[in-house]
Structure 1
Amino acid sequence: STAKIVQEGNNAISIAANSLFGGTAAVILTVFVVISCLGTLNGLIISNIRMPFSLAVRNQGPLPRLMSRVNTKTNMPPFATVYAFLLSVIYMVLWYGSLNNWFGRYIGLDEIPIVLIYGLYIFLYVWYMRNFKDLGKWKRFGQPILAIGGSLIILYGGISNPSIGIYLAISVVVILFGLVFYREKNNA
């Protein structure tokens, strides 16, 4: 039952797979889940390193001269890597504090980027429908409309959360903070 799965917490996937497919399949499914999570983690790490570097080469973001330097031996931007690490540590502390009620109640910090990104996807899908005129009707309109519907479901879930005011305030503060580093002229 759903209540039992929720009660099991982190073991829910293994227990559900074990009851549906047996012990061997449960282990295989758990391995696939771990591989999937590690792949997602790898993508997040690489994009988190690339974000300050990508901004810096366009003379945007904090300390662009420093963040755009690339180590010739590793072909990696060391200062952008340190920046990404520090940003990750700050986010991890906030997330840990949220889970342990440091802020008075649970604040799902992981929901902020998800809801925000799915909200922004709607604009992407509209742009897609307007600009990809060489596609057939299904690919140009049908699929993006279904994707917009999915995004609206995620947005509804985020908006119906009682902490939406806190989420929006945090998002607006981050966006406004980003504007501090915006430069009209860039080197790109």
Structure 2
Amino acid sequence: MENELQKKYGLFMAIAMVIGIVIGSGVFFKAEKILVATGGNLPLGILAWIIGGIIMIICAYVFATMATRYEKVNGVVDYAEAAMGSKYAFYVGWFMTTIYYPAITSVLAWVSARYTCVLLGWDIVGAEAMALAGFYLIGSYALNALSPKLAGKFQVTTTIIKLIPLILMAVLGTIAGLSNGVLIKNFTSGVIADVTTANPMFTAVVATAFAYEGWIIATSINAELKDAKKNLPRALTFGTLFVALIYILYYTGLAGAVENSVIMQGGETGAKIAFATVFSSLGGSVLFVFVVISCLGTLNGLMIGCTRGFYSLAARGLGPQPNVYKNIDANTNMPSNSAILGLLFSGAWLLYFFGANLVPVPWFGPFSFDSSELPIVTLYAMYIPIFIMMMVKEKTLSSFKRFVMPVLAICACIFMVIAAFYAHGFVTVLYYLGLFAFIMFVGAFFSSTKRA
């Protein structure tokens, strides 16, 4: 008899998935990029955080509506199948399994290693960083593959831990900035450095996309979530609202800790400088350990989705060797074969990220792109047909849920696509789309239902 995934997670786990995956590296990793993109213009940077948060909340609300109606093995793929049919659902699942999950997971492994290196005073692109990135990637896989329940507890624990530095900086950084005048100075100084992008706002909003991304991965556990049709929408709605609020407050607190120029010039050490300024050198180092744990918690949440990618295809009789990858381990209740292949793809994307973004001369020539942002924007583009068909098919929904929110979500997705072209350049995006098209072409050979 074939095993099935058990209902082992509750509402708190689902909320922890949303908050824990989204909050992590991005708010630290992209804060400096947003300041640089806007030339140190703090109000413009905060506006970018607000726009990015609104886009996330709108899209999450629409998917939360769909989550009350559909429940199978992988949320976003289920919704694509209900709206557009099995063929489109396969390509969404294939993209998420081969590009989105492993690409973002690999970046998180490096970001976790990056902040560990900052803490230890090591080079963030040297051998130490890459060795740590590989270790973190394999360690996260092992935790999920060997004990999914332990991985769930780790997710909840790190979610609580990662809120500590954010809340402390949001509160104490703001108070310190108001008392010493730094916050007011940062708000009123305007542009303090040359802006190198054609449209600073678009570049900044696309940067927030990485910081806000991950909430959709929480839908990957809906087959393992108790009362998923009620708990998943609650988790998506509450989680995304909470994340947007805490990000804006943290960014404001950061501006109260040190001048914008310090964050911009500090690069990867900018966040550590800010924490040390507010909490002293020792206190800043302790809180920065929490930052590293925060990144590892996000990596764990992404790996939860990554290990289930090929299983979500195989459960539909699709993808390579579906009878192999839909197998569930009787002892761990994990799709072990799917997890192994997910790790392999994550390792490949880590190698790509290093060769495309961290070496002096990119290995892949014009095909070198930022794999932390463009796959996310691609997913937003793939949402658009789902939202359109939702308006066509879901006739029992209220006008607000059927038309108003999906239209807003479509506008938000189109905005992200346009912003990506401005942020990364038309030529770079075209080369990325070429690689995307090739991977989708390979996927076409596995798009037919195969059953034993």
- State TM-score, norm by structure 1: 0.79
Aligned to 1:138: 400
2:369 maps to which of 107, 110, 130: 107
1:127 partnered with 2:379: no
**Structure 1 pair 13/146, CA: closer, same or farther in 2 (3 Å)?**
farther
**Structure 1 CA distance for aligned equivalents of residues 295 and 404 of structure 2:** 31
Aligned to 1:64: 322
Matching of residues 40-119 of structure 1 within 5 Å = 40-99=298-357, 100=359, 101-104=362-365, 106-119=368-381
**Structure 1 pair 157/36, CA: closer, same or farther in 2 (3 Å)?**
farther
**Structure 1 CA distance for aligned equivalents of residues 389 and 271 of structure 2:** 38
Find the residue that maps to 1:83 and give its secondary structure: helix
How much does 1:29 deviate?
Answer: 8.6
**Structure 1 CA distance for aligned equivalents of residues 286 and 403 of structure 2:** 38
Point out which structure has higher relative CO (alpha carbons under 8 A, 6+ apart): 2
Q: Would the aligned equivalents of 1:67 and 1:79 in 2 still touch at CA under 8 Å? A: yes
How much does 1:111 deviate?
Answer: 2.7
Deviations 1:26-52 (A, max 9, x none): 889968865664444233212211111
How much does 1:64 deviate?
Answer: 2.0
How much does 1:104 deviate?
Answer: 3.7
Equivalent AA in structure 2 for residue 61 of structure 1: G
Equivalent AA in structure 2 for residue 72 of structure 1: A
Aligned to 1:149: 411
Q: Which runs of 5+ in 2 are unaligned?
A: 1-34, 41-192, 194-260
**Structure 1 pair 130/41, CA: closer, same or farther in 2 (3 Å)?**
farther
How much does 1:18 deviate?
Answer: 7.5
**Structure 2 CA distance for aligned equivalents of residues 114 and 32 of structure 1:** 26
Equivalent AA in structure 2 for residue 165 of structure 1: L
2:267 maps to which of 9, 14, 20: 9
RMSD of aligned Cα (Å): 3.1
Q: Would the aligned equivalents of 1:119 and 1:151 in 2 still touch at CA under 8 Å? A: yes
Deviations 1:86-115 (A, max 9, x none): 111001000111112222465212233112
**Structure 1 CA distance for aligned equivalents of residues 298 and 394 of structure 2:** 29
Aligned to 2:445: 180
Equivalent AA in structure 1 for residue 412 of structure 2: G
Q: Would the aligned equivalents of 1:58 and 1:187 in 2 still touch at CA under 8 Å? A: no
**Structure 1 pair 26/139, CA: closer, same or farther in 2 (3 Å)?**
farther
Equivalent AA in structure 1 for residue 279 of structure 2: G
Equivalent AA in structure 2 for residue 127 of structure 1: M
Between the aligned residues of both structures, percent identity stands at 34
Equivalent AA in structure 2 for residue 79 of structure 1: N
**Structure 1 pair 70/14, CA: closer, same or farther in 2 (3 Å)?**
same
**Structure 2 CA distance for aligned equivalents of residues 109 and 29 of structure 1:** 28
**Structure 1 pair 71/125, CA: closer, same or farther in 2 (3 Å)?**
same
How much does 1:172 deviate?
Answer: 0.1
**Structure 1 pair 144/165, CA: closer, same or farther in 2 (3 Å)?**
same
Deviations 1:38-93 (A, max 9, x none): 44423321221111112223322112222222221112222211111111100100
Deviations 1:117-176 (A, max 9, x none): 010111222122223333333333222222222212210122233201111101101100
How much does 1:9 deviate?
Answer: 2.4
**Structure 1 CA distance for aligned equivalents of residues 410 and 289 of structure 2:** 32
